[in-house]
Amino acid sequence: VSGIMHEGGTILKSSNKDNLFHYPTHNADGTITYSDVSDEAIKNLKYLGIDALIVIGGDGTLTSARDFQRKGVPVVGVPKTIDNDLPATDVTFGYNTSLETICDALDKIHTTAFSHDRVMVVEVMGRNSGWLALEGGLAGSADVILIPEIPFSIEKVCEYVESRYKTNYAPIIVIAEGAVPKDGDMITKDGSLDSFGHVKLSGIGEWLAQEIEKRTGKEARTSVLGHIQRGGTPTAF
């Protein structure tokens, strides 16, 4: 493991995209069936002589860690997720690095918003937690910050957009991927679920930009930072 200090994310390619307690099998007819293969995984641990697991991850990863612990596997859980949404920890590993990426992106987007006089909607990750949007938006001088914890009024957002233009400045809006409009539903691209039962988010930024254009007549553009937030060299923090 020497020489990996500058690397970001996993070096083991041990993504938690497949839940071993609800493991997907893709059938020839295009259907997917799910089964519990955790016992097979425990057999492999014993075969390899692995006595315990240090599990570094977020909600899905640590849910699996908990379930393996309940089946007798000694586990140490380390809270790592850019969403910063795990209880019993102040700041999760990965969050600060992602936050710096968002701030850097907002610094660059300010230039385009000013020169082109367009509303810039920046969609950031976080699932059902607004930490990235809130702290990234504050540090990046966003004009509007929309987070999952507080359903937002599209009317008030549009009112602010129009008031901002009266000062000859186009606003920058940071919106968390899990943000929800008042009297509305969560916006997703296709409503599909991962193997942990989590809906795949993204799409609220584009929806908001379209609503702003329709209601105010102001040109709006969307930047979805997406997976760029999940990579890069870890910060000093």
Q: What is the set of active-site residues?
A: 83
Encoded tokens for 44: 């492999």
Residue 191 half-sphere exposure, CB side, CA atoms within 13 Å? 1
Helix and strand numbers, DSSP H then E, in the chain? 6, 10
Among 164, 158, 46, 72, which residue's Cα sits nearest to residue 114? Answer: 164
Residues pairing with 79 in the sheet:
57
Question: 75: Cβ–Cβ under 8 A, 6 or more apart, which residues?
Answer: 52, 53, 54, 55, 65, 66, 68, 69
Parallel, antiparallel, or unpaired: how do β-strands 144-146 and 172-176 relate?
A: parallel
Parallel, antiparallel, or unpaired: how do β-strands 32-35 and 53-57 relate?
A: unpaired
**What distances in angstroms separate CA 222 from CA 62, 113, 122, 211, 216, one per listed residue?**
33, 11, 6, 12, 16
Residue 70, judged by CB atoms within 10 A of its CB (0-12, 13-18, 19+), counts as: exposed
